[in-house]
Amino acid sequence: FIEEFPYAQFLDQRLAALGFCLQKLSARDHELIVSRYHRDSRIEALAKKVGRSESLVYKSLTRIHDLLLNCIRRRLSEGDGT
């Protein structure tokens, strides 16, 4: 069935790579990402929770996004998205 939808396989590989890369984050970075996206926390609430300015939270999220993007690209280029 998935052979009929190569894009679905592509997405599965990217999701698997994302899962792998999320596990490689430090506990602090992982918690920030989970709080922001899984728990849908607003930046203001995150800043208060972690005791940092909103600007620093944005900068941290940008840094983490870059780490994840580079990790995913590396993982996929190695042909091991799973």
Provide the residue-wise pLDDT of the chain in tens; the chain has 82 residues. Answer: 455 667 778 788 999 999 999 999 999 999 999 999 888 789 999 999 999 999 999 999 999 999 999 999 999 998 755 5
Helix or strand holding residue 75 (H, E): helix 54-77
Contact assessment for residue 13 and residue 81, using Cβ atoms and an 8 Å cutoff: yes
Q: What is the DSSP letter of 78?
A: T
pLDDT of residue 82: 54
Question: What length is written for the chain?
Answer: 82
pLDDT of residue 26: 97
